[in-house]
Amino acid sequence: MVRRSRFTTLAVRGSYDHAESANHLGSLSEPAYLATAQHFESAEAMRAAAAGECDAWVYSRRGNPTVGYLEATVAALEGYRVDAEVSAAVTTTGMAAVTLATMPFLSAAAGAKPNIVASPALYGSTVMIFNKRYGAERDVAVRWVRDPLSVSEWERCIDEDTRFLYAESPSNPMVQLVDIPALAALAGQARIPLIIDSTLATPALMRPLALGADVVVQSLTKAAGASGRSMGGAVIARHDIQARAQPSELTADFAGYLRSGPIRDMGSVLSPFNAWTLLSDIRELRGRVDTMSANALSVAQHLAASDRVAEVFYPGLPTHRSHGIAKRDMWLVDSDVNGREAVNRFGFLLCFRPVGGVRAAREFLDRLNLIWRANNLGQVKSTATIPAIGTHKQVAESGPESAPVPADMVRLSVGLEHLDDIIADLTQALDER
């Protein structure tokens, strides 16, 4: 029954149904198993659980029921309307999810020097993982695609040693999309996975697995956990993916492989308390992202019309390079049911460059009264930062050509405050003094 439910029903219910509730004294909410280990009735029960022969959780590094509820919910949302089996593994942070989604494919099993092909339009810490942790420390060649919108450039970078394709769509902070179906076709021809970080879209607006991607990364710290109380990440993958020189247990169920191997062994385990708070936040994902995205479009249009703003980056604006792809791929989930017309939504994040350069950008940030100066995004509270001195500071200082971030660009995450109040704060902060 759950798989036939609508998106919002899956978000509210997940895998916790009436039968599951009966096992927990009728509790309407998933219980928080704030315990590190499980008691066993006998030595044989312990052996069977440790061997994976029965449904048990043994030890919280190997699994926890509350964490399992979150994984089932995330898999159901990201796998909504996907014609494939989908499973998820949750992690301590979004960056842990990025690492776990990519590192297993870089093993030496293929007997050659591996390379990865990636969009340069990535979050700063992802760039550092690829350039420093993989490139400098492990001698993995990173092939940055100069123009992520050019499918032919992606194709030219792929060879027999390429292990995966990687992109953010939309990207942080430039909110640039890629053509996922076209890249999925390239990955399929090369028999390698396409990995998409879709944190900024969330499954409420776009589900890359439905567009052909093999693996999706989400930072649950962002819109999924919009209260800002907990950090978390997720790796969601279709079953039976293609990957060069990898064992069958990895390709058959990649997320399951991560749970039973790398996450268990390396200890990147989400706490049950954080899983419990994220479950509470994720229930209202669709409605929250709908309102935040509608507000963001109005804010982007307002800024684009201002003579105090030099440039606005938002995929909902016709001037954005990715606007055509966004119009095709970004839709409010289930907005087309019961004969209604589908609704485009373009996300809650936008960037702009105020007139006056770096000084103007910093003065603008300092003048904000309602909007918070913070480096997180996707929260119910609107936040603003300057990526060059915040989220992308390491990248900006190391100066790689692969990830340019304008020094005078402001990143704005639009929250749930009243639109009039958000625009009023932006207006007064942009005014010359």
- Which residues partner with 196 through β-bridges? 167, 216
Final residue in a domain of this structure, among 263, 282, 301? 282
The helix (run of H) or strand (run of E) holding residue 308 is none
Distance CA 59, CA 310 (A): 55
Angle at 300 between CA 328 and CA 218, to 5 degrees: 55
**Same domain for 364 and 269?**
no
pLDDT in tens, 191-231: 999 999 999 999 999 999 999 999 999 999 999 999 999 99
Overall pTM surpassing 0.85 (yes/no): yes
Q: What's 397's domain CATH number?
A: 3.90.1150.10
* Exposure b/e, 167-185, CB count within 10 A at least 16 = b: bbbbbbbbbbbbbbbbbbe
pLDDT of residue 400 exceeding 50: no
> Which pLDDT score is estimated for 320?
97
Final residue in a domain of this structure, among 282, 305, 321? 282
pLDDT in tens, 262-287: 999 999 999 999 999 999 999 999 99
CB 93 within 8 A of CB 221: yes
**Same domain for 119 and 257?**
yes
**Same domain for 309 and 378?**
yes
**Same domain for 14 and 69?**
yes
Please give the share of the chain, as a percent, with pLDDT higher than 90.
Answer: 88
**Same domain for 223 and 337?**
no
**Same domain for 315 and 261?**
no
**Same domain for 182 and 275?**
yes
Final residue in a domain of this structure, among 267, 282, 297? 282
Which CA distances in Å does 156 have to 31, 144, 181, 190? 50, 11, 17, 12
Q: What's 23's domain CATH number?
A: 3.40.640.10
Distance CA 348, CA 416 (A): 10
**Same domain for 177 and 55?**
yes
**Same domain for 189 and 146?**
yes
> Which pLDDT score is estimated for 2?
46
Range of the domain at 254: 2-282
**Same domain for 206 and 151?**
yes
**Same domain for 270 and 333?**
no
Q: What's at 276, amino acid-wise?
A: W
Number of domains present in the structure of the chain: 2
Distance CA 88, CA 110 (A): 26
Q: What is the largest CA-CA distance in the chain?
A: 75
**Same domain for 289 and 275?**
no
CB 278 within 8 A of CB 230: yes
